[in-house]
Amino acid sequence: MLLVLDQGARPNDVACFGWSASAVNDLPQVTLASGGGGAGYELTPLTRAAGEFVSSTSVGCRGTWSFALGPRSRVSKGTMVSPLDADASGNPWVIERDIDIAQAQFCDGFFAAPGAVYCGDTFAVHSIVEVP
């Protein structure tokens, strides 16, 4: 997965501010929507993204997704962190993902029950690299 981030103009009066996801690549059938991800994330995110999912094999199988990328542990105020230092052991970062499907019965038997389905999970980040 390639997440394209944009920080925009740096304000002079703010010491710390986040990034906006301007694109997410290599995720078939997933589009990025404007705005941030869902509420309620436990981590202190570097960035959030949200969008819509539509199955290419069953147009009735659709829903929304959101994710946040950040350090696994809360970051104390004034602490400097770099995503380029992320690794699975010494400085763990995670992606928290939420998926909401409105009508699961249209998803080609992927879900056992019909109706609304919510899935949420956390993935360990093994490394983050800057792509020129």
Assigned domain for 130 exists: no
pLDDT bin (cut points 50, 70, 90) of residue 17 is low
Q: Is the pLDDT of residue 40 over 60?
A: no
Residue 2 has pLDDT above 70, yes or no: no
The total number of structural domains that make up the chain: 1
Q: Is 59 among the domain residues?
A: yes
What distances in angstroms separate CA 95 from CA 10, 26, 105, 107, one per listed residue?
A: 25, 16, 28, 24
What's the pLDDT band for 8 if we cut at 50, 70, 90?
low
In a domain, 132, yes or no: no
When mean pLDDT is compared over 17-21, 61-65, 86-90, the highest value belongs to 61-65
Evaluate whether residue 131 is within a structural domain.
Answer: no
Mean pLDDT value across residues 122-130? 81
Assign 6 a pLDDT band (cuts: 50, 70, 90): low
